Each structure stands twice: as C-alpha cells, then as structure tokens.
A and B are shown apart, each in its own frame.
Chain A
C-alpha cells in the first residue's frame, strides 16, 4: 500500500498533472499577497527611529535570506530521497531548487549590499554573515556547474545529490555566523524561540512577505522543474502527448 502511494507521488507524470491542476491557485494569490505585503511594508508601516525609510528593504532582504538557506535544506532532503529510494523526481526537484536557491541567494546578497550603503557606509564588508552567504551562493553555483558538466544525466544526479548532502556542513556555520563571530550584521530579529525584536507594525507586513514570498518561490520552482522534467523525459509517451 505504502509503496503504491510512494510510486504514485514519485512519478513525474503525476507531479506535472498535480502542478497543472493547482498551479494558478498558488501562483496568483502569492503574487497578489507579495504585492500587498510590499505595499504594506513600503507605504503603510512606520519609518524606523534610527534607519528611517532605508530599513524597508527588509521586506525583500529578510524573506530572500530565509529562503536562501531553507532551499538548501530542502535540496538536501530531496538528495537523500534520491540516493536512498532512487526517486528520479527528487533529483529533478533538487536541480530546479538549485536554480531558485541561486537566484534567491543573489537577491539576499544584492539587497543586503543596497541596505549596507546607508546603514554601514559600505556596500560590502568581509563580515561573517555576508562571507558565509557568498559561500552559499558558490555552493549553488558549484552544484549547477557539476550537474551541467556531465552528459550522463543519471551520473550527474548521483554526484549532485552526494555533493548537496556533503555541502550541508556549511549551513550551521551560515546560520550561527552572527552569534559565533562579532559581526557588523545584526543577529536575527525573528526566531522561533524568542519574542521578535521588531515592532508589530513592521512585523506583520514582514510575516506576510515571508509567507507569500515562499509561495512565489514554490511557483517558480514548479515552473523550473517542469522545464527540467520535459527536457529529461522528452522521449516518454506522456510528454509527447502532453498538452
């Protein structure tokens, strides 16, 4: 019974059909919500007592920083699923997530640099958090480079999955960098264990942005994964008959 369920959901065909069925129900609300979140954060939330209006970049910077790390954990989980159960779909999703992760990490770095100019007086500092985030960016880049350098896609999937799991060693360093080193970058304002160190008037739009940005990334990941699946399974009948 359980094998039957796994086989059903591990099939690329079922995945594509499910995505097609629900994509618009996720994509359109997520776009509307992110616009609402950014509008709330940029035009309605009060200015910061110290930073003035420059802090409003958090509505892009914080969500992208959170997902830059979270996507890597998700990739590691999919890699493990691929290596243990040989579910091809997991390998496709790992690669598509690497592209989304690369983009999001770039956004986190870019928005951080833009924020750094008015607050730190410089767009770049060899600070522990920034350096560890650029390492994360290189990790995504390395994974994509490794996968693309092999013609044999199964071999590429295997190698990418192994490297993804080994690369997890950097994630605790990135997460804890602001606590372990004395850095210019502030410690996390929102944690799962403590009360948020941010005013509710600024926090609510931020939470809305974080949640909706997550759904935007899921939509983006679905689109990228569809491209990868169609490319990899182009000789299958169901792909030829698709649409």
Chain B
C-alpha cells in the first residue's frame, strides 16, 4: 500500500516540480545572505550556522504548505475513506516522499553552502545529519499544523503549531553553536534521531485522524 502510494506521490511531485520551490528558496537565501554582510570577510562562516536554522525552518514550512490541501480539495481523501483505504498510509507516504524529495536535497545543499562559506569540513557529516533529522521534525510538525487548519488557510496551522516547533529550534540551534565551537553533537544527533522515529508515525496518525474529523 505504502509502496503504491509512494510511487503515485513520486510521480506527482516529480511532474508538478513542486519539490523545486523550497530548494530554490533555500538556495536564494544562502546566496543572498553573504552579499548582505561582507563578501570577503570571515563572518560568513559564523553567521552561516545561525542563518541555516531559520532558512531551513522557512523552507520546510513552504515545502509542507499545500501537501494535504490538494488531496483534500479534489476529494482524494474522501475517496480513500469511502473505499475503506487507510488514510494513515496515505499521509505517511506523503511525508516519506517529502523527506526524500525535499529534506534530503536540502541537507545536501546545506553541505554545499557550508563548504562555500568556509565552514570547517570536519563538521560536514554532523551538519548533514543534524539538518536532516531536524527537517524531519519540522516536516512532521508542519504536517500536523497543515492538517489542523486544512480548510482555514496555512496561517492558522502555522500559528497553532509554532510553539511546538520551538523545542526543535532549540535542539537545532544548540547543535549549531556546538558545531561552531568544533564540539561533539552526538547526544543531540541521537536525540533528534530518536524523536524522528517516534513522531513520524505518531504525527502521521494524528494528522490522518484530524483529516478524518474534517471529512466527517
């Protein structure tokens, strides 16, 4: 079931080129921020770590904005319910595709921009992993928000889940500070990995439950 849905979703996301928008926005922020400081200064490597948290937060919000809306409006979810298919599998598949098509390339882009901003190559692997795990958390939370405010516009979803995003920002921000000082972030990596595994099925289930409530 998930495999079938994933194939469908992959086709859809690939055809619509929707996966490109967050990547382009992220690249735009990453190219623009050194221009606004000092092009040849050393500041860019320090500020990169700060700007990365906010830019990934924004791009992930943009990535999830209409993920459920299209299927909700064109009646796909309703059809799922009437055919007694699992809404949970559909939402989980959407989330997994999103992680593969948006979070993974964004983490790779993070490394690319880290290298052009004179960040120490020693921290690249940690940077990749922490940005990937934190993006999974962001996507889960924004998916939940998107489900909550599905017929009320994206802003409501954002407002209601913003407080839940803050713990992730704390983890991500603390990791960035530690990486800046060349310290180990193993504990944060394990923590974010563990939470990612826990909340991906949990938030997919909650989101599908909420969608069901909206449809009933």
Contacts and interface: CB of A to CB of B under 8 A. Distances in A.
B163 A170 contact: yes
Contacts of A139: 163
A146 interface: yes
A145 B164 CA distance: 15
Contact of A142 (B152, B160, B210): B160
B167 A169 contact: yes
A159 interface: yes
Contact of A170 (B149, B160, B166): B166
Contacts of A163: 148, 160
Given A146-B149, A149-B152, A162 B163 contact: no
A31 interface: no
Contacts of B209: 162
Given A143-B160, A149-B152, A159 B167 contact: no
Interface in A19-53: none
Contacts of B62: none
Contacts of B37: none
B206 A166 contact: yes
A66 B35 CA distance: 47
Interface in B152-187: 152, 156, 159-164, 166-167, 170
A143 B163 CA distance: 11
A155 interface: yes
A24 B166 CA distance: 41
B174 to A, nearest CB: 9
Given A163-B148, A166-B206, A145 B163 contact: no
A138 B210 CA distance: 21
B38 to A, nearest CB: 25
A159 B166 contact: no
Nearest to B202: A166
B214 interface: yes
Interface string A138-175: 11011101100110000100110011001101100100
B138 interface: no
Given A159-B213, A163-B148, A173-B170, A142 B159 contact: yes
A136 interface: yes
Contact of A159 (B159, B163, B210): B210
A162 B164 contact: no
Nearest to A138: B163
A178 interface: no
A239 to B, nearest CB: 26
7 contacts: A142-B163, A145-B156, A166-B206, A167-B163, A167-B164, A170-B163, A173-B170
Interface of B: 144, 148-149, 152, 156, 159-164, 166-167, 170, 206, 209-210, 213-214
Interface of A: 132, 135-136, 138-139, 141-143, 145-146, 149-150, 155, 158-159, 162-163, 166-167, 169-170, 173
4 closest residue pairs by CB, A with B: A142-B160, A139-B163, A135-B163, A146-B160
Given A136-B163, A170-B163, 8 more contacts: A142-B163, A143-B160, A145-B159, A159-B148, A162-B209, A166-B164, A167-B164, A170-B166
